[in-house]
């Protein structure tokens, strides 16, 4: 088990180095990045002075090493627009994005798993057909369109839920204000419901189909037939024998789902004016604030790599054979 984790850690380090290299190169794709940091009316002397000050006059390998050194110190450059540290801007917005991502994952998992199991054990029935029809509908619906429809009908016409805004939960917890986070919870959920459904519906639909297919594959195995022949209840057969062995592909998808949801918040946060990293990155792209985009890419990538490492460890617990690979 220890060797397996060490191998996965080394692979994660290699991936992170690749991400930092790609993130660094994006700054140089359009040519000399010095022009991002100076005004359009800057003189040649000002451009040269800025280039030297920021280290863009040095060879690319040396610039990359300086970039990695800054990353290890928690320094990913300064925002061109706000003149604040880019990593600080990202970390300020990260709790709101995580709240939305985790809420969307909760919606996806809590609904997809039971309806996927129901569709599998009632294969070929009206329940199975209805669930798969809804799953296909959910996967084919653009998230931005769904968000706008929810705002129009649920928010504006029915006035059931707020159409924008945010009440923090994670930030008070990180500051040790548990009572404040608990008091904010009811209001926070009201603000989370519409954007959470907007992001989570596609994930829910895909995961329901995955759970169904995994369960159907497992239900036909000999050990499930043996469990039934021993007189075990159908509930015990499904949950203790079938579902556990169907978990590996489901865990795979859930690990990847975290990254998909993180990337999906970019559009949804813009639609609902959600104060998260997605909206920050959208504004940074339109303003050509490259350091902020780099910081967001590095932070999101590190989180995605960590989640996949965690998924690999869960694999090894679910199936000991994986540890030997």
pLDDT per residue over 230-260, tens digit each?
777 777 777 776 777 777 777 777 777 777 7
* Distance separating alpha carbons of residues 81 and 101, to the nearest angstrom: 27
For position 209, what pLDDT does the model report?
87
Helices 247-271 and 277-286 sit at what angle, rounded to 10 degrees?
Answer: 50
* Distance separating alpha carbons of residues 35 and 54, to the nearest angstrom: 11
Return the bridge partners of 85, or none: 78
Contacts with 94 (C-beta within 8 Å, 6 or more apart), sequence order: 276, 277, 299
Q: How many CB atoms neighbour CB 92 within 10 A?
A: 14
For position 151, what pLDDT does the model report?
92
pLDDT per residue over 50-89, tens digit each?
788 777 778 888 888 888 888 888 787 788 788 888 888 9
Residue 181 pLDDT grade (very low, low, confident, very high; cuts 50, 70, 90): confident
The average pLDDT across 9-27 equals: 81
Query: Which range is least confidently modeled, 135-139, 157-161, 287-291?
Result: 287-291
For position 193, what pLDDT does the model report?
92
Q: Which two tokens stand for residue 256?
A: 């990847």
Largest CA distance in the chain: 86
Domain limits, the chain: 14-72, 86-324
Inter-residue long-range contacts of 276-283, CB under 8 Å, 24+ positions, other chains counted: 276/93, 276/94, 276/96, 276/97, 276/100, 277/90, 277/93, 277/94, 277/96, 277/97, 278/97, 279/93, 280/89, 280/90, 280/93
Which has the higher per-residue pLDDT, 306 or 323?
Answer: 306
The average pLDDT across 151-171 equals: 88
For position 195, what pLDDT does the model report?
92
Instruction: Provide, rounded to the nearest whole percent, the portion of the chain with pLDDT above 70.
Output: 94
Instruction: Assign a CATH topology to domain 86-324.
Output: MetI-like fold (1.10.3720)
In b/e form, how buried is each residue of 119-146, taking b as 16+ CB within 10 angstroms? bbbeeeeeebeebbeebeebeeeebeeb
Q: Residue 152: is its pLDDT beyond 90?
A: yes
Residue 1 pLDDT grade (very low, low, confident, very high; cuts 50, 70, 90): low
For position 316, what pLDDT does the model report?
67
For position 169, what pLDDT does the model report?
86
For position 299, what pLDDT does the model report?
86
For position 288, what pLDDT does the model report?
77
- Mean pLDDT score of the chain, rounded to an integer? 81
Q: Residue 42: is its pLDDT beyond 80?
A: no
Give yes or no for a contact between 314 and 308, defined as CB atoms under 8 angstroms apart: no
Residue 325 pLDDT grade (very low, low, confident, very high; cuts 50, 70, 90): low
Q: Residue 49: is its pLDDT beyond 70?
A: yes
| Burial bucket for residue 213 (CB in 10 Å: 0-12, 13-18, 19+) | middle
* Residue ranges in the chain assigned as alpha helix (H): 2-26, 44-54, 60-72, 86-121, 126-140, 143-150, 170-174, 178-219, 222-229, 234-236, 244-245, 247-271, 277-286, 290-318
For position 319, what pLDDT does the model report?
62
């Amino acid at each position: 088990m220890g060797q397996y984790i060490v191998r996965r850690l080394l692979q994660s380090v290699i991936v992170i180095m690749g991400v930092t290299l790609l993130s660094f190169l994006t700054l140089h794709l359009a040519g000399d990045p010095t022009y991002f940091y100076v005004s359009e009316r800057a003189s040649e002397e000002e451009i040269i002075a800025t280039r030297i000050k920021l280290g863009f006059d040095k060879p690319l390998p040396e610039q990359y090493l300086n970039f990695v050194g800054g990353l290890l110190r928690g320094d990913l450059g300064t925002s061109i627009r706000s003149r604040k540290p880019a990593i600080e801007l990202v970390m300020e917005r990260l709790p709101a994005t995580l709240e939305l991502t985790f809420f969307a994952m909760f919606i996806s998992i809590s609904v997809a798993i039971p309806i996927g199991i129901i569709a599998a054990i009632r294969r070929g029935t009206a329940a199975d057909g209805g669930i798969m029809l809804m799953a296909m509908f959910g996967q084919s619906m653009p998230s931005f369109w769904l968000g706008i429809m929810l705002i129009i009908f649920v928010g504006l016409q029915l006035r059931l839920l707020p159409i924008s805004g945010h009440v923090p939960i994670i930030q008070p917890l990180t500051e040790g204000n548990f009572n404040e986070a608990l008091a904010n919870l009811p209001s926070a959920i009201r603000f989370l419901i519409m954007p959470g459904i907007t992001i989570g519906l596609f994930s829910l639909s895909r995961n329901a189909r995955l759970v169904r297919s995994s369960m159907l594959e497992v239900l036909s195995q000999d050990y499930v037939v043996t469990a039934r022949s021993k007189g075990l209840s159908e509930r015990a057969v499904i949950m203790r024998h079938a579902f556990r062995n169907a978990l590996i592909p489901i865990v795979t998808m859930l690990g990847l789902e975290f990254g998909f949801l993180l990337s999906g918040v970019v559009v949804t946060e813009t639609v609902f004016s959600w104060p998260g990293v997605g909206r920050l990155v959208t504004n940074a792209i339109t303003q050509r604030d490259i350091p902020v985009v780099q910081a967001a890419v590095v932070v999101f990538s590190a989180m995605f790599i960590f989640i996949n490492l965690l998924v690999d460890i869960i694999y090894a617990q679910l199936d000991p054979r994986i540890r030997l690979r």
